[in-house]
Amino acid sequence: MKISNYLVKPGTKISLSKFSTKDTSGIKSKEDAKEFLEKNIEKMIELQDKLYASDKYSLLLVFQAMDAAGKDSIIKHVMSGLNPQGTQVYSFKQPSKEELDHGFMWRIQKAVPERGRIGIFNRSHYEEVLVVKVHNLLKYQQIPSEFIDNKIWQNRYEHISDFEKYLYENGTVVLKFFLHVSKDEQKERFLARIDDKTKNWKFSAADVEERKLWNEYQSAYEEAITATSKKFAPWYIIPADKKWFARLLVSEIIVETLKKLDLQYPKLTDEQLAELQKCKENLMNE
């Protein structure tokens, strides 16, 4: 599987309709994908252990998608098996009054993973150039009116990229995933949520209202992804009609990225090694 096929190359203008939602990179069955995913989870467990022990880098995974694209289930499956002490998941909902009394990055900053950890954002700062743009929510944000002009989105993309560059240069590796689901598949999943009692809780009538704004959202995503896919914080467009493939691809991207960091367990000095030997002798002589 070539992960670069799913990478949005910095500086290229994307059109989501040109990206497949159904691609499975030649993998034929759910069973095969599951097997590969399990292998990747093993590798992730090992890499996470080194990430934690070396305490230098952190990894931030950002998940954005239309409703029912499978964010929750990807987070659940891909992160299963990882050490819970080294992971943290944040779900960003509509901002609170206190959050709205600050700039949009305030609540995000506080949720960035500390060194050694893997942080997961279920929705993120990108909502500020997606839902806020599509629904024209700026008027509720109390931003002084002189800053609300026709450059505000461009300015926000720049704020986001500056922030992500800052994270990168301080040891946080940022990966961003757009789970790309088709409009037909979304409909199927909504219907399943209505028909299946165990899935009713996942359905909200508001999701159907949002679906009416499908094209507006797709355009907002295209513009935001085009403006913010950078070498230091790349976007990947994940075909998500087949959940089993989306899970596998995300795991593959995580493993390849962590491998490139060349993580090592901390090396002990000669003095520390001698100290260990002394402790061993003491224990043996008890």
Residues that bind ligand ATP (CB under 6 A): 67, 71-72, 92-95, 122-123, 127-128, 131-132, 137
Q: From edge to edge, which strands make up the β-sheet containing 87-91?
A: 87-91, 118-122, 58-65, 172-180, 235-239
Q: Which is nearer to ligand ATP, 51 or 68 (CB)?
A: 68
Q: How far is the CB of 68 from ligand ATP (least distance, A)?
A: 8
Q: How far is the CB of 262 from ligand ATP (least distance, A)?
A: 34
Q: Which is nearer to ligand ATP, 111 or 131 (CB)?
A: 131
Q: Which is nearer to ligand ATP, 27 or 220 (CB)?
A: 220
Q: How far is the CB of 215 from ligand ATP (least distance, A)?
A: 17
Q: Which residue's Cβ has the minimum distance to ligand ATP? A: 127
CA 191-195-200 angle, to 5 degrees, is 90
Q: How far is the CB of 154 from ligand ATP (least distance, A)?
A: 18
Q: How far is the CB of 120 from ligand ATP (least distance, A)?
A: 12
Q: Which is nearer to ligand ATP, 87 or 124 (CB)?
A: 124
Contacts of 153 (CB under 8 A, 6+ apart): 129, 133, 223
Q: Which is nearer to ligand ATP, 127 or 223 (CB)?
A: 127
Q: How far is the CB of 42 from ligand ATP (least distance, A)?
A: 28
Q: Which is nearer to ligand ATP, 95 or 239 (CB)?
A: 95
Query: What token pair was written down for 168?
Result: 């990168």
